[in-house]
Chains A and B, each alone.
Chain A
Amino acid sequence: MAHPVLVPPLGQTVDTVTIVTWYKREGEAVREGEPLYAIETDKAVLDIEAQASGVLRGVTATEGDEVEVLRAIAEIATAAEGGTVGTTAEAADGAPEVAPSESSVAARAVTPVRRGPRQFVSPRARRLAEAEGVSLEEVAGSGPEGAVVERDVRAWLERRSSAQETPPRELAAPAAAVSEVVVAQMGAKLAGAPLVTLDVEADASALTGLRAQLAAAEVEIADTDLWLCVLGRALRDQPALNASLEGDVLRRWPRVQVGLVVDTGDGLAVPVVRDVDQKRLAQLARETRELRARAHEGALTAEDLKGATFTLADLGAAGIDTFTPFLDAPTTAMMGVGRIRKGGGAADATVWLSLSYDRRLVDAGRASRFLRQVAQLIEQPYRLLA
């Protein structure tokens, strides 16, 4: 299946945009969410992110070309067509991020993108993986010289099939709440609750620089993962925002579990990423990809959707600058993040953050301080180490 790369209709007053830079070349591997090319509209120069993972090919517009919006200027060949393996590629736990499994001859890059140490796979294991549609990047090897061998693929297959039947590894919800405030007397139902939204534009240049550095170190992450990382920290520091309503009881939780709004293609779903404050970027990246994949496949379980203590909607990939998150989730607060935009002001890159909260459950002061910290962490990511 090939995913067309369409020029988004981002110009305010014009029907054409100019291709400024291609970040990827024909035949190169591409990951969903990473910047693919930059366009100049009448307003600004914007990075456009890849909407799928695979191999870039069929590029029909070059730098400097003026192109109509919604025109396909390339396509991304996904795994089924022999591109690099699909959107849910994961490295083995604890191991360095491994290279995508080798493209078929048809899609082989002229200058192959080497992403890390080569993964050895026995011919037998490879054959089985192909037959069963297993992405080899997700399989850890236990054979000679660390190769992926047949039993590893079989074990992966078994885990996949049992994961679809039994509850997943972690508790759906933390064991005990920190504090509970009964709001029964308020008679508040969440739907239609009074919402306040706070907005702030943060300087994202440090973060994009960080992302580039990580990419150079062969750690591929998307913007969403960065927001999760920052949120994890902020929510741990300011637990007032890490709370959810269960019936009439507002519970604050010791663990940070962020519901991530995902477009399944068939509506929205909000699977939960657990212990966000405990996980490194790479692991967050793996998990969000996996959740997205399962969401697309309609393979999310009930357990996946339970236990969020905060909600995040990242519409940056959809090319949205800013929006007001509405709370359709049991969390007391939700953050909406737009896309990182280049230029236009003092900063090289900026991003809009919007925090919506139920003002009966969270006071404005706390909410502001929370949003302020999130912005600060984005602008000064070194604080994450402190």
Chain B
Amino acid sequence: MAKMSIAEALRQAIREEMVRDPRVFCVGEDIGVEGGFGGAFTVTLGLSEEFGHERILDTPISEIGIAGVAIGAAMAGLRPIADVQYGDFLFCMMDQLVNQAAKMTYMSGGTVSVPMVMRAPVGSTRRGAQHAQSLEAFFTHVPGLKVVAPATAYDAKGLLKSAVRDDNPVLVFEHKLLYGSKGPRSEAGALSPVGEVPDEEYLVPIGKGIVRREGSDVTIVGKLLTLYRALGAAEKLAAEGISAEVIDPRTLVPLDRELILESVRKTGRLVIVEEDNLTGGWAADIAAIVAEEAFFYLDAPIVRVSAPDTPAPFAPVMEAFYVPSEERVIEAVRSTL
């Protein structure tokens, strides 16, 4: 066992997969430059020294190109791990991800596979609206894409490895405030969760969520940063005698529905927390699933705690208003009791 940050866990995963399988390579901007950052959040730091610049392939600023290269390389026998510097740039490559990668297997009648990974950092960090979005919902909506969102070092390593070995396009969303990046790339306000990671080989299966905290009065579902908001809220609620069960879905597509449904059947109450705009978001989908499949177990209306329907603001006081806080989660839980 070793304690490490999420950035370190991701780096380990990439390294191990590249050692294990020569077809694996990384492609993205600023990921292999000598003396460089190792990617925007240090995840690929040091890898180009070990694997060279063909396997840690730096690109021009061409998001469409990055995606297309990953897709084509995957179709032709390699296993690329592509990344965007900021999740917001995924929008620059939407056609490639949504029209090409997601649909290639289907349109070919199941004969063509696209075993690629696309990593994307998300979350608001005082950089302004275009470098702040949590946009998983755009992709959970696309049939043909798998989507994971690891919030711990253990899950980051295990899920990235599983993603590399999956024969389908997998989007890996990472939160900027959870990396634990050090030095000049460290983030103000970061949580930097450090977790234990086994030395021996392990995988976290795509499609399985986990109960982070057991409880009986209310189910709180959160992802990435908001998972920690949920856990913080649960701790405070416990002092009031309210027992909250906190669920981390870990994979968004395919969703571990049964885990959530089982929990709601037990507690009768559901609060979903997301760092994403409220309307048409991910929480809305979870709420609909539970309302359809566990309606008669509900003791209170389902509550979503989301960012308001605005672009992400810059000023720290506004950002604190925008990103769901522990207090808002606590308030939401209380409203269900």
Contact = CB atoms under 8 A, between A and B. Distances in A.
A124 B336 contact: no
7 A-B pairs with least C-beta separation: A124-B299, A123-B296, A122-B299, A149-B299, A124-B268, A150-B299, A144-B300
A144 B297 contact: no
Interface centre among A124, A125, A150 (most CB of B within 10 A): A124
A143 B334 CA distance: 10
Interface residues of A, number: 11
B47 to A, nearest CB: 52
Contacts of B298: 122-124
Nearest to B297: A124
Interface string A353-381: 00000000000000000000000000000
A144 B296 contact: no
B301 interface: yes
Interface residues of B, number: 11
A95 B36 CA distance: 71
A123 B298 CA distance: 6
Contacts of B296: 123-124, 126-127
13 contacts: A122-B298, A122-B299, A122-B300, A123-B296, A123-B298, A124-B268, A126-B296, A143-B337, A144-B300, A144-B301, A144-B336, A144-B337, A150-B268
Contacts of A149: 268, 299-300
A285 B296 CA distance: 33
Nearest to A142: B337
Interface string A91-125: 00000000000000000000000000000001111
Contacts of A150: 268, 299
Contacts of A127: 296-297
A85 to B, nearest CB: 19
Interface centre among B297, B298, B299, B335 (most CB of A within 10 A): B299
A173 to B, nearest CB: 41
Nearest to B268: A124
B89 interface: no
B51 interface: no
Interface string A140-167: 0001100101100000000000000000
Contacts of B299: 122-125, 143, 149-150
Contacts of B37: none
